[in-house]
């Protein structure tokens, strides 16, 4: 049965969905070796404006310069209520607060002008059983005047570790650094500032007390803030090319707040390789690649 929710100009309210996120879910079975089937559901937001005060707050907290085009990560924020709409659906067996954002890939087919209206659609990809648990994708597409201008694939993990895989766990490889670097100082308030701009108010990002409820000693930075902050810095480098590109990353170690990190990158003929390393430069918070598009 297909379930397609459609909204015009205004997204669904976040508070009711956060309330649903607190309701218990049965969760997928641990005994079967197959991935859990997900429902055929989607959500659409038609004619959402890209400009406004929230965009200005987002630029400020992520460090983006003011341009005629919006940041390539901004449509992710515009689609966030639709993400919650699907993930809190009663037919989705995975509890929202038990999900981990593993990977993210954004493709900007062309720069999107500030003030341009977008039609957003979010759907679920096919789940996959892995040694760490069950993975599935949140797939987001943005159209302008009927043409695809932006798309995103966010890989989510519901942890169901295969204990037999521990025997084959490999030692963490040594970090190989790139020739270009800059340091980042991340204030304690970053999680709250990003939450105010994005609507993503996961407790692990807000305060030490709320983070400790979920097993973290301090609040941690949003993964998508880290990705956006990296992008904002790389856009300022001489190797940057305006236009169409894709940016992918894998989220690794949490960045505790307050904290410091080092952005490390190199240019290639077709793009940029980058990693956001911890202050000891021996483990990545995230790593990925920017690929210029023809």
Assess whether pLDDT exceeds 90 at residue 58. Answer: yes
Task: List the structure tokens of 154.
Answer: 């966010």
Burial class (CB in 10 A: 0-12, 13-18, 19+), 14: middle
Segment 209-215 shows an average pLDDT of 94
Q: What is the pLDDT of residues 64-88, one digit of tens each?
A: 999 899 999 999 999 999 999 999 9
Q: What is the pLDDT of residues 224-254, one digit of tens each?
A: 999 999 999 999 999 999 999 999 999 999 9
The whole-model pTM stands at 0.93
The segment(s) of the chain belonging to CATH 3.10.129.10 are 1-22+39-162, 176-294
* CA–CA separation, 269 and 100 (whole Å): 33
Assess whether pLDDT exceeds 70 at residue 162. Answer: yes
Q: Where do the H-state alpha helices sit in the chain?
A: 14-21, 53-62, 74-87, 190-198, 208-212, 223-234
How confident is the model at residue 259, as a pLDDT?
97
Mean pLDDT for all residues in the chain: 93
Q: What is the pLDDT of residues 84-118, one digit of tens each?
A: 999 999 999 999 988 999 999 999 999 999 999 99
Question: Which are the contacts of 74, defined by CB distance < 8 A and separation ≥ 6?
Answer: 50, 55, 58, 112
Judged by DSSP in three states, 294 sits in coil
Domain at 1-22+39-162, CATH homologous superfamily = Hotdog Thioesterase (3.10.129.10)
Range list of β-strands (E), the chain: 3-8, 41-49, 99-108, 117-124, 128-130, 133-144, 147-159, 180-186, 245-251, 259-267, 271-278, 284-292
* CA–CA separation, 12 and 290 (whole Å): 32
How confident is the model at residue 160, as a pLDDT?
85
Inter-residue long-range contacts of 284-287, CB under 8 Å, 24+ positions, other chains counted:
284/175, 284/252, 284/253, 285/221, 285/226, 285/251, 285/252, 285/253, 285/254, 285/255, 285/261, 286/223, 286/226, 286/227, 286/230, 286/249, 286/250, 286/251, 286/252, 287/249, 287/250, 287/252
CATH architecture of 176-294: Roll (3.10)
């Amino acid at each position: 049965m297909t379930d397609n929710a459609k909204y015009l100009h205004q997204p669904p309210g976040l508070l009711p969905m956060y309330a649903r996120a607190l309701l218990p879910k049965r969760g997928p079975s641990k005994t079967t070796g197959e991935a859990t089937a997900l429902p055929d559901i989607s959500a659409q937001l038609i004619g959402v404006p890209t400009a406004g005060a929230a965009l200005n707050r987002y630029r400020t907290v992520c460090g983006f310069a003011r341009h005629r085009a919006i940041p390539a990560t901004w449509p992710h924020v515009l689609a966030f209520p639709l993400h919650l709409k699907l993930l809190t659906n009663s037919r989705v067996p995975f509890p929202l607060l038990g999900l981990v954002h593993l990977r993210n890939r954004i493709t900007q087919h062309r720069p999107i002008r500030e003030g341009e209206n977008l039609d957003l659609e979010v759907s679920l990809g096919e789940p996959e059983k892995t040694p760490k648990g069950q993975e599935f994708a949140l797939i987001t597409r943005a159209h302008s005047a009927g043409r695809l201008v932006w798309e995103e694939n966010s890989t989510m993990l519901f942890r169901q570790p295969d204990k037999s895989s521990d025997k084959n766990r490999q030692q963490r490889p040594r970090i190989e650094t790139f020739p270009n670097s800059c340091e980042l100082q991340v204030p304690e308030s970053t999680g709250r500032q990003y939450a105010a701009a994005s609507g993503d108010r996961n407790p692990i990002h807000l305060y030490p007390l709320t983070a400790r409820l979920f097993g973290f000693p301090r609040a941690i930075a949003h993964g998508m803030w880290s990705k956006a902050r990296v992008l904002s810095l790389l856009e300022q480098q001489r190797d940057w090319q305006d236009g169409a590109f894709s940016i992918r990353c894998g989220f690794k170690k949490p960045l505790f707040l307050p904290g410091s990190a080092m952005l490390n990158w190199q240019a290639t003929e077709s793009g940029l390789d980058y990693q956001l390393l911890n202050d000891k430069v021996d483990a990545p918070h995230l790593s990925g690649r920017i690929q210029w598009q023809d």
